[in-house]
Structure 1
Amino acid sequence: MNTAIGILLGIGLLFNVLGTVSLYRFPDVYTRLHGTTKCTTFGSLFTSAAVVVYGLTKFFQGYEGRFVTLSLHVLVAVLALLISNATGANAIARAAHRSGIMPVRAVFDRLAEDEKTMGRRVS
């Protein structure tokens, strides 16, 4: 099981490093937001999966029940992270768009098209 935990931690670390690199390499707020959102989602997901596997392994080896509690707390935290991460990224992207920050190479802008056809801001 230690191998599986190490692999999950390695994958989580890789996603976190790639998210950090995306902050420096991507040209605008939208692609940076995309990179860091993937980093937060998948990096935390794999790292948390490693903690859950560790906790359940310790529990089944006969240690105290606190490792099950640890695993359940991590699962609740991951669920909250998955919901809030997508919602927060969407709010930041909409705020950037409404502030007039455009992508570096935008081919089309669906949000602006929707605002024109509806005659109001799309919320």
Structure 2
Amino acid sequence: MTDGMHHAHKRKRIYQKKEPYPHPNKWKRLLDKLIYMIGMIAPIMTIPQVLQIWVEQNASGISILTWSAWTVVAVFWIIYGLAHKEKPIVIIFITWIIIYALVISGALLYG
């Protein structure tokens, strides 16, 4: 969940007159686009965990504290995304919060 570092560096470039965005180098432009795809794919990779909890009703080994902490982190990312008008960050972390809520509620029910 370090995709926010991209945006921090993007903001630094503006003030320090570093590399332009979008970057003229094809490779770096590709990386800039891939990070958004990865941000969208990452929540999908958590679906097996959600299915294990809700379909199998098995939440053994799930740490409510850890998933709650991730939820708090996601809230801060949403605030950051709103403050900087970065819709991709807001959308991705709203998706994460939905997934975290499913895991936490399932862990409370079946754990």
Same fold, TM-score > 0.5, yes or no: no
User: What TM-score, normalized by structure 1, do the two folds share?
Assistant: 0.35
Structure whose alpha-carbon radius of gyration is higher: 1
What is the TM-score normalised by the length of structure 2?
Answer: 0.38
Higher relative CO (Cα under 8 Å, sequence separation at least 6) belongs to 2
